[in-house]
Amino acid sequence: MVWVVFLILSFLCIGSVAAMIFSRNQAHNALFLVLSFSSLGGLFGLLDAPFAAAVQVLVYAGAIMVLFLFAIMMFNLRGELPARVKKARLALTVGLGTVLLAELLLAGRKLVLGSPGAGPAAGGDTARLGHFLFSDYLYAFEITSLLILAALVGALALAGKREGS
Q: Which is nearer to another protein, 115 or 145 (CB)?
A: 145
CB of 126 to another protein, least distance (A): 9
151-160: Cβ within 8 A, 24+ apart: none
CA dist list (Å): 131 to 28, 55, 151: 40, 17, 27
Under the binding rule (CB under 8 A), the answer on residue 155 touching another protein is: yes
Residue of 59, 78, 68 lying closest to 30 (CA atoms): 68
**Which one-letter DSSP state was computed for residue 81?**
P
Q: Does 12 bind another protein (CB under 8 A)?
A: no
Q: Compute the least distance from the CB of residue 11 to another protein, in Å.
A: 10
Radius of gyration of the chain from its Cα atoms, rounded to whole angstroms: 21
Cα–Cα distance list, 39 to 3, 81, 92, 112 (Å): 14, 30, 21, 27
139 makes contact with another protein (CB under 8 A): no
The footprint of another protein (CB under 8 A) covers 2-3, 6, 10, 13-14, 17-18, 20-21, 26, 29-30, 33, 36-37, 40, 43-44, 46-49, 51-52, 55-56, 59-60, 63-64, 67-68, 71-72, 74-75, 125, 128-129, 132-133, 137, 140, 144, 147-148, 150-152, 154-155, 158-159, 163
